[in-house]
Structure 1
Amino acid sequence: MSADMIQKGRIGSLKSRTGCKTCKIRRVKCGEEKPRCLRCASTGRQCDYATVNLSLSRGQPPRVHRGLSTVSPVHRERRAFEYYFFHAAPSLSDALDLGFWRGTVLQICGHEPAVWDAIAALSTFYEHPPSVGWPGLYRIQHTDRLPPPQSRNHRDALTWYTRSLRKIQQQIQRGIADLTVVLVSCVLFMCIESLQGNIKAALALYHQGAQLMNGASADTRETSLLKATLAPVFVRVGTLVTIFDGVAPLPDRLPSPRTLESRFSSLPDARITLYSLVTDWKIFDCDSVVVHQQKSTTFISPDTLRRLQTRQQALEGGLLAWHRRFCGMDAVVQYNKSSSLMSEDAAAIHAGSPSGIIAILLMTYLSALILTRTALTPAETVYDAHETDFAKILAHAPAALASTAVDNGYQPPFVFDMGIGLPLFITILKCRSPTIRRQALRLLGQAPAIQGMYICHSAAGLLALVVAIEERGPSCSQEDLSVASLLERVGRVPRDGERIFALRAAPWSSAGGETCTALQYSRRECINGKMAVIDEMIVLPASSPWKKLTIL
């Protein structure tokens, strides 16, 4: 593929003076053959020459016509592309990635029908997001139990998605697939699956994409294009996959993060370095889980503990070095000055500026730093000393939310990157201050519903359950477990023996064959003067909203 097809740039006008409607919207030159042009005939698309004006005034969102459900599929397809251009693409990620979503992706779709179909599917799911609630907790393992399409829009989206998948698979089987096209399609497919709550499929797609990227020939023009356009995308997705899966294969030919001894040249430079550190933290966290499985560090062999402590110190040093250099950037200096304002004024200043990106990076940094410093201490009370850092995470949230909000003030249903969801999740789970916990839960409810592979609204219900069990005990009713009920209560700081240190949501099949969510958790309790690990589980939902939930 030529560099001209990949270079970033502003997309020109969607109007053209002549040619069929399909070629106009696909931004390809129409041969103007009548009654059906060769481009449409070769791709099996409908072709007509009626006048359609897709040009809209700058800064104005496209008007949603209620009669669109009755028009032909090709018109709905074109409208989906229009919605992607004006709404989905600008909201999918922050300003640092517009070159990918409104540059690379759109330029490739002009000559690749598979990418065009994937855009139409993604756009439709973006405008009409499927309902992803509590079932999302067990969908990770049971992707074959996804609900059927909820509307005609969803049926259209699935039709386009299936068509795109089939085209890519056929190209691969015939040995004519362009690697860049396949990887761009893979990114779009991951978004489509995440929007449906199908996290397992999104994870599988990442692994396939990383494998393809690792298999690319070295020192070719195609490889250099992959490094410039797709490798940064995959390294960030790889961090999310590592958080979910424990360890993920990162593409071999990624741009190496700059050494922490040098000054960051840009926000993307700082971001990719932080993501690399977060990946290192997760790998360290997986290795240090042996500490949390014990009653105290005295049960760990001295050599194992010493090796873990050395890694902990190195990771903490790397995070602190990142923060020093990050805070020296001009944009971050300006952000810190504006953050001293009242929250509403600061949010207005932050909207449309890189401040939202800075806020998310600082929230992510603080979360990783807290978890690194506490990783080798089994007692959950260790987090009490970090209450100030948890409060700082919340202080950055308004700027982050302002940066992702759309024109009407609402949050989009999905953002591609790791946003504020994970830092807020960690805050609610590990900070036992009832005030901070509830503030974080409110902020989580204001965030985009799905961030990367993280389903925020499902997580909010799960976290409310954890807080309720810690504050009120496992015998609370299902009504007590709701987010709304929790926010109405003042709450209290749970005792050490009431604190949950390990948590897992898993699918559970009832005797009647119904699939629901089981929450498996562990806590430490002093019994007869000895510390014991207590493993418990709650199955949701209860058969009655007033029934006491039973510990299994």
Structure 2
Amino acid sequence: MLTYRAMGAPHKLPIQRAFPSHRDSTSPPSDDAITGDRQQTIKALRASRPKVKPECDRCTSTGRKCDGYYIPPRKNARKDPNAVTELPIAPERCLEVVRGTSGELRALEFFHARTAPNLSSYFDAGFWTRLVFQVAHVEPAIMQAMVTVGYLNQRRDTGTKPRPMLQSVIVDDNEGILSAPLKSFRQYEATDHNDTFAMHHYGKAISLLAQRLEDPDAPTEVALLACILFVCIEFLRGDVEPAFTHFKSGMSIALASLSAPASPKAVLTTARIKEGMLPFFHRLELLAMLFGQEATYEYPITITEAVPASFATVREARDSIVHLMNIGLRFIRRMKKGRYARFVLPDDLAHQAGIARRIDDWKTALDSLILTNNISHRDLDAAKILRIHQLILTIWLGTCCEIADCASDAYMDEFETAVSLGEALQHNAAGTTSEQPEPYHPTFLFDMEVVSPLYFVGIKCRHPLIRRRAIALLRQTMRREGLWDSYMAAAIAERIAVLEEVNLTTLDGSELPAERDRVHNTEIHTMARVSRNQYMLRYYSKPDGLDQEWKMWIEHIILETDLISRPELLY
């Protein structure tokens, strides 16, 4: 346990050791468009616009050049601590002066050429392609974390070739006893999880950060940036528990810094954290709740503050929908038990309606931004992603007080629109010159974009044709978004479809699964320390009636991949 003192107040930073444990580990249990004419809105979203170079929204609005955030010198600093100094260091220049082994330099080059642009996605280019390199130039812990992330990302992008999905399923009985020996799952060694090169540099990053944090004047941003990179490392390793431990550590530091005593230095630090770092932790909280984690603090944004009257940029719309989803998921999780106990109060319904109104306000603001601004084609694609998020939140919120899983059938239009937007994104990513769009290039993203929303469609939309379109998109996407792997999501959604459709006589959508056949909830447990491709699933259904006991059973699922032997890519 490391002790970190930010603005005079000590805080605990429970950074775990990077070296692999020999015990098994599982994750904790998980639990419309623009106002006016609907078709006109979708057409507007799909319209192509001239591309423009993305810029930092905050700096663009003030007319100044942005070169990232000021990170104070590590030692013997005699400058005014309140002065903000620019560090105009280009990533290429950073790489030129770095010393290291050939493997380390290749990992850094991959981070620069592929990882940082991918992590930037639609909104965070300034953070990943500029700020991270600037800080790494003066902070060895950040440099070592970059090496680890770049190496693991290159292993993922170039070291494996997904095959057509092969599922190995072992079903537990109600007593929780495997019907086949567990050793049958150990044939896939978790090489990425225990990779020697990655663990060496991950361990160095943690050790260097611990040394750095012994300095009471160490910038808060260094600890927060390290937490973000450590989360990326654990996402790439597929390890849930340490990923969210790092997230919670960083969030506690960020929130404590925002409430620090007022001073000129504190004001500058607070502004940098609030604008540059805290949005990452809000999005990490969303990923954590989607993977079954419970919120442990009061959300710092109210429902009223979450949606402004208008958006100046698509990034503002992204931050706003993240707030709405975090607030909405808190309510959804609270209602999970109450609805099955038939204990939904009028105040609950009023709260649900209040969140729904703010979602409508968000739609209106996004629609106005799209219709009144000549935004780029890239921003239009970003708007499609945000619209998918809004549609899923609308469905989830609208059904969270209903005991019957059939309640989701009332949202077929929303399901279909979400899948159509996903298909448009897939086509745009492949380019429009080919007759048949190719799959997305294999990649790793820090944020949620399409994988978990399409997974939601795959498990909660019971129209056979729509859900199969969602599953097909997941198969073609070939990416990991945080801990959500598209192949994992496709395999689980496909398995649930098989379970639910067993009594259907046709799959043309003219009939839907009966309530008794539906899987109400699926808990996903990663088994990264046994096999990087193994998951344990626990299903919940109500086959004997909504007021009867739950039926629960467990399955293990393995996704098989081919490892390409390419020694020149391994260090």
Q: TM-score, normalised by structure 2?
A: 0.68
Tell me how far 1:405 sits from its aligned partner. Answer: 6.8
Match of 2:551, SS?
strand
Deviations 1:416-461 (A, max 9, x none): 1111112111111111100001000011122243112323322222
Q: Match for 2:96 among 1, 19, 24?
A: 24
Deviations 1:464-490 (A, max 9, x none): 11111111279xxxxxxxxxxxxxx87
Are 1:383 and 2:408 counterparts? Answer: yes
Contact 2:534 2:557 in 1 (8 A): yes
Closer, same or farther: CA 432–95 of 1 in aligned 2, 3 Å: closer
Structure 2 CA distance, aligned partners of 1:195 and 1:317? 37
| Residue of structure 2 equivalent to 1:181 | 222
Contact 2:70 2:85 in 1 (8 A): yes
| Residue of structure 2 equivalent to 1:209 | 250
Tell me how far 1:507 sits from its aligned partner. Answer: 7.6
Match of 1:150, SS?
coil
Contact 2:70 2:87 in 1 (8 A): no
Q: Match for 1:324 among 364, 381, 387?
A: 364
Tell me how far 1:173 sits from its aligned partner. Answer: 4.1
- What RMSD in Å do the two structures reach over aligned CA positions? 3.8
Structure 2 CA distance, aligned partners of 1:126 and 1:315? 38
Closer, same or farther: CA 151–455 of 1 in aligned 2, 3 Å: closer
Contact 2:301 2:323 in 1 (8 A): no
Q: Tell me the matched-pair count.
A: 439
Closer, same or farther: CA 10–457 of 1 in aligned 2, 3 Å: farther
Q: How does 1:307-456 map to 2 (within 5 A)?
A: 307-330=347-370, 350=377, 353-401=378-426, 410-456=440-486
Structure 1 CA distance, aligned partners of 2:103 and 2:452? 36
Match of 1:493, SS?
coil
Q: Which residue identity is paired with 2:390?
A: Y
Match of 2:449, SS?
coil
Closer, same or farther: CA 405–160 of 1 in aligned 2, 3 Å: farther
Q: Match for 1:83 among 110, 131, 140?
A: 110
Structure 1 CA distance, aligned partners of 2:209 and 2:540? 45
**Whose RCO is larger (CA < 8 A, sep 6+)?**
2
Structure 2 CA distance, aligned partners of 1:496 and 1:126? 42
Contact 2:395 2:411 in 1 (8 A): yes
Name the stretch that deviates more: 425-434 or 452-461: 452-461
The structure that is helix-richer by fraction is 1
| Residue of structure 2 equivalent to 1:264 | 311
Q: How does 1:526-541 map to 2 (within 5 A)?
A: 526=544, 531-540=547-556
Structure 2 CA distance, aligned partners of 1:104 and 1:412? 25
Closer, same or farther: CA 292–406 of 1 in aligned 2, 3 Å: farther
| Residue of structure 1 equivalent to 2:120 | 93
Closer, same or farther: CA 493–111 of 1 in aligned 2, 3 Å: same
Closer, same or farther: CA 308–501 of 1 in aligned 2, 3 Å: same
Deviations 1:361-385 (A, max 9, x none): 0000000001111121211222212
Are 1:306 and 2:346 counterparts? Answer: yes
Match of 2:312, SS?
coil
Closer, same or farther: CA 535–526 of 1 in aligned 2, 3 Å: closer
Q: Which residue identity is paired with 1:24?
A: E
Are 1:504 and 2:523 counterparts? Answer: yes
Contact 1:404 1:412 in 2 (8 A): no
Contact 2:339 2:402 in 1 (8 A): yes
For structure 2, list consecutive stretches of 5 or more residues without a partner in the other structure. Answer: 1-5, 7-67, 72-83, 169-185, 433-437, 528-532, 559-571
Structure 1 CA distance, aligned partners of 2:431 and 2:87? 23
Q: Match for 2:497 among 467, 482, 497?
A: 467
Q: Which residue identity is paired with 2:367?
A: C
Match of 1:354, SS?
helix
Structure 1 CA distance, aligned partners of 2:87 and 2:467? 43
Larger radius of gyration: 1
Contact 1:14 1:25 in 2 (8 A): no
Deviations 1:148-201 (A, max 9, x none): 773799432222111111111222245464321111111111011101101211
| Residue of structure 2 equivalent to 1:14 | 92
For structure 1, list consecutive stretches of 5 or more residues without a partner in the other structure. Answer: 16-21, 27-44, 47-73, 136-144, 336-348, 475-488, 509-514, 543-552
| Residue of structure 1 equivalent to 2:289 | 242
Structure 2 CA distance, aligned partners of 1:290 and 1:531? 13
Match of 2:213, SS?
helix
| Residue of structure 2 equivalent to 1:156 | 197
Structure 2 CA distance, aligned partners of 1:152 and 1:110? 28
Closer, same or farther: CA 188–324 of 1 in aligned 2, 3 Å: same
Q: How does 1:478-493 map to 2 (within 5 A)?
A: 493=512
Q: Which residue identity is paired with 1:354?
A: D
Structure 2 CA distance, aligned partners of 1:317 and 1:151? 45
| Residue of structure 1 equivalent to 2:145 | 118
